[in-house]
């Protein structure tokens, strides 16, 4: 199926990906190591002797030169060993495995909501640009752009949790333990997280659809006597959705970190929540490992979307 140019492109991008991931691992490492604060203080408390501190640092390998520490850490990471918490002795990879599905579920749900709202809205609006419906939905989404996730979260809690008790204000039920409860606990955070995406997707898709609908091939499709709805879905939507998908890719990456605030607000034990908790307890390896995972996920998602775009647009496939 895939031609040689696509393979070449894929390989170039893969090399770039590896390079970026390498730099990111350095950044994640330095981020934690160059900052003030002494882990031995965290572990032993502020009143222990200098000798005891040195011993702790030696045990943790923190007395070695930075490049060596990095290489050791990287070697372990490549073997799937992200180290363990200074405090709880829980392995970092275990903590991530516990927390990451929550982020994943939030991001996926929020994007399902965003697409489900933005796509139909944009399709109806683009059919008659500058008419009442288009103006109304454009104004609405422009306003939505100015509602930060945390404000929307507060409003949602106020209305749906405090006033009418429809959904829990905080807390999380795992997907595997009870699906209904899980969705109930995920719905408000997902809406808070996805609302900004609705605005962005709507605006992109609307303007792309408007210009697509003026293309000759749409006139041609009309001249074939095809129904309007069919033309919208089968002829206009796909060529209009490339910038939508590109922005969704970038967006999904930043949602991973955007979820931090929402998780904290709704007390959901996802990666964001864990990172902030680990930061406040100076749990270095935990912060480092989670930062690495989030950053790599961010890059990989962007890469995957990039490649998906190539598959979707047969024109790029050849270029």
Partner 1 sequence: MRRADPLRFAPVEDMADPLLSVEDLRTHFRTPAGVLRAVDGVSFSLDRGKTLGIVGESGSGKTVLSRSVMGLLSQSSVDRSGRVLFAGHDLTAMGPRELRQVWGTQVSMIFQDPMTALNPVVRIGRQITESLRIRAGLDRAAARQTAVALLASVGIPSPERRLRSYPHELSGGMRQRVMIAIALSCGPKLVLADEPTTGLDVTIQAQILDLLSSEQRERSMAMVLVTHDLGVVAGRTDHIAVMYAGRIVESAPTAVVFRDTKMPYTEALIRSIPKLAAPSHTRLLAIEGRPPSLLDPPEGCAFAPRCPYADDRCHREAPPLREASPGHLYACWNPVGTPAAARAFEANRQAGLPAAVAYARSGVAP
Partner 2 sequence: MPDSQKRLGPLFWICLGFIGLVVFGAIFANVLPLPNPDAQNYAAVNAGPSLHHLLGTDDLGRDLLSRIVFGSRVSLVVGFGGIAIGLAIGGTLGLVAGYRSGALDTVLNAGSFVILAFPPLLAIIVIVAFWGRSLPKLTLIIGIASIPSMFRVIRATTMSYANRDFVVAARALGASNRRIIFRELLPNVAPAAISFALIGVAIIVVLEGSLAFLGLSVALPTPSWGNIIYEGASNNNLQTNPFIALWPALAMFLLLTSLNLVGDRLRSYFDVREGGL
Positions in the binding site for partner 2 (CB under 8 A): 19-20, 23-24, 27, 31-32, 35-37, 142-143, 145-151, 154-155, 157-158, 162, 253-254, 256-258, 260-261, 264-265, 275-276, 279-280, 287, 291, 294-295, 298-299, 302
Minimum separation from the CB atom of position 198 to partner 1 (A): 25
Instruction: Pick the closer one to partner 1 by CB: 55 or 215.
Output: 215
**Whose Cβ is closer to partner 1: residue 37's or residue 216's?**
216
232 vs 288, beta carbon nearer partner 2: 288
52, 59, 238, 311: residue in contact with partner 1 (rule CB under 8 A): 238
Structure tokens at 4: 């040689």
Select 148 or 239, whichever has its Cβ closest to partner 1. Answer: 239
Instruction: Find, among 61, 96, 134, 72, the residue nearest to 270 by Cα.
Output: 96
150 vs 230, beta carbon nearer partner 1: 230
Torsion of Cα atoms, 228 then 230 then 232 then 237, to 10°: -170
Cβ distance 133 to 150 under 8 Å? no
Q: Is 216 in the site for partner 1 (CB under 8 A)?
A: yes
Residues in Cβ contact with 166 at an 8 Å cutoff, skipping those fewer than 6 apart: 160
Among 145, 147, 161, 226, binds partner 1 (CB under 8 A): 226
Footprint of partner 1 on 288-317 (CB under 8 A): 312-315
DSSP secondary structure, 105-174, as one string: HHHHHHHHHHHHHHHHHHHHHHHSTTSHHHHHHHHHHHHHHTS-HHHHHHHHIIIIIIIS--S-SS----
Dihedral (Cα; 114, 117, 122, 124), 10-degree rounding: 170
Tell me: does residue 229 bind partner 1 (CB under 8 A).
no
135 near partner 1 (CB under 8 A): no
Which partner from the list partner 2, partner 1, none does 215 bind, CB cut-off 5 to 8 Å by kind? partner 1
How many CB atoms are closer than 10 A to CB 270? Answer: 26
Instruction: Choose the binding region for partner 1 from 32-40, 175-183, 191-199, 223-231 (rule: CB under 8 A).
Output: 223-231
* Least CB distance to partner 1 at residue 212 (A): 10
How many C-beta atoms lie closer than 10 Å to residue 34's C-beta?
Answer: 8
Q: 91 phi and psi, to 5 degrees?
A: -75, 140
**Binding stretches for partner 1 (CB under 8 A):** 215-217, 219-228, 230, 234-235, 238-239, 312-315, 318
């Amino acid at each position: 199926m895939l031609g040689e140019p696509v393979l070449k492109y894929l390989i170039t991008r893969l090399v770039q990906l590896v390079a970026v991931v390498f730099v990111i691992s350095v950044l994640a490492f330095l981020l934690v190591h160059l900052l003030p604060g002494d882990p031995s203080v965290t572990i032993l408390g502020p009143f222990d002797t200098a000798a005891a501190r040195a011993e702790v640092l030696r045990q943790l390998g923190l007395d070695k030169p930075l490049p060596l520490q990095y290489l050791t850490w990287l070697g372990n990471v490549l073997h799937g060993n992200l180290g363990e918490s200074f405090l709880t002795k829980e392995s970092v990879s275990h903590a991530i495995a516990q927390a990451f599905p929550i982020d994943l579920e939030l991001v996926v749900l929020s994007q399902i909501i965003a697409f489900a709202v933005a796509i139909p809205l944009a399709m109806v609006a683009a059919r008659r640009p500058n008419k009442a419906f288009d103006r109304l939905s454009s104004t609405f989404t422009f306003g939505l752009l100015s509602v930060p996730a945390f404000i929307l979260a507060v409003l949602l809690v106020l209305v749906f949790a405090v006033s009418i008790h429809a959904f829990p204000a905080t807390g999380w039920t795992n997907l595997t333990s009870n699906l209904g409860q899980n969705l109930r606990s995920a719905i408000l955070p997902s809406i808070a997280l996805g609302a900004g995406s609705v605005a962005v997707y709507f605006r992109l898709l609307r303007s792309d659809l408007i210009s697509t609908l003026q293309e000759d091939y749409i006139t041609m499709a009309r001249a074939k006597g095809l129904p309007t709805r069919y033309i919208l879905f089968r002829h206009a939507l796909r060529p209009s959705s490339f910038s939508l998908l590109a922005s969704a890719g970038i967006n999904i990456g930043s949602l991973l970190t955007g979820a931090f605030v929402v998780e904290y607000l709704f007390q959901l034990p996802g990666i964001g929540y864990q990172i902030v908790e680990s930061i406040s307890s100076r749990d270095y390896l935990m912060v480092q490992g989670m930062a690495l995972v989030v950053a790599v996920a961010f890059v990989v998602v962007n890469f995957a979307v990039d490649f998906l775009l190539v598959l979707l647009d047969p024109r790029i496939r050849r270029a």
